[in-house]
């Protein structure tokens, strides 16, 4: 979580295992693409920085954040990936739509984590306004995509060692 005390892109690279040989799928919501595509770029670049090959990173798109669960499930059913990252952005509006979308996708991704033997990484920004989202998509608070990729690498490593 980005706060005044923590930058989403700040981490100790020496504490991140190699991503060499890891196959990941990244599902990106097209809604708020200025933000979600920046998250995507952060995640991909972080995987490459840690040794993944471009061919081992698959990126695909869904219309909006709510559809991330179905997109992630489709990739999981192929049994080809070590982890699946979902990247989206929901910005608070004047209606309760924000609450329903955030709750639905959170529950959906949580459920997938219990159904499959791979980690699903939640890289969804839920902000009060567009500026907060931009600040967390490569702005002053770093990039949630970087954080999601580091989390995926660490979780893949954990699963490889324990399952």
Model pTM?
A: 0.95
How far is residue 23's CA from residue 73's CA, in Å, rounded to a whole number?
A: 16
pLDDT tens-digit series, residues 17-62: 999 999 999 999 999 999 999 999 999 999 999 999 999 999 999 9
Average pLDDT over residues 5-16: 91
* Side-chain half-sphere exposure of 157, counting CA atoms within 13 A: 13
Q: Is 50 an active-site residue?
A: no
CA separation for the pair 39, 45 (Å, rounded):
10
Q: pLDDT digit string (tens) for 123-159?
A: 999 999 999 999 999 999 999 999 999 999 999 999 9
DSSP type of residue 7:
-
**In the chain, what are the domains?**
20-162 (3.40.50.960)
Confidence at residue 93, expressed as pLDDT on a 0 to 100 scale: 85
If DSSP codes are grouped into helix, strand and coil, which group holds residue 81?
Answer: coil
pLDDT bracket for residue 3 (50, 70, 90):
low
């Amino acid at each position: 979580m980005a706060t005044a005390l923590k930058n989403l892109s700040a981490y100790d690279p020496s504490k991140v295992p190699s991503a060499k040989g890891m196959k990941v799928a990244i599902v990106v919501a097209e809604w708020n693409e200025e933000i979600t595509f920046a998250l995507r770029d952060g995640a991909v670049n972080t995987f490459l920085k840690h040794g993944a090959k471009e061919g081992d990173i698959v990126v695909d798109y869904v219309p909006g954040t709510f559809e991330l669960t179905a997109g992630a499930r489709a990739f999981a059913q192929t049994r080809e990936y070590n982890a699946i990252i979902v990247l989206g952005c929901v910005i608070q509006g004047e209606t309760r739509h924000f609450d329903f979308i955030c709750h639905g996708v959170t529950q959906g991704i949580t459920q997938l984590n219990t159904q499959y033997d791979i980690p699903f990484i939640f890289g969804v920004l839920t902000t009060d306004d567009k500026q907060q989202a931009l600040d967390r998509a490569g702005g002053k608070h770093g990039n949630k995509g970087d954080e999601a990729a580091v989390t995926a690498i660490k979780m893949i490593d954990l699963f490889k060692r324990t399952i």
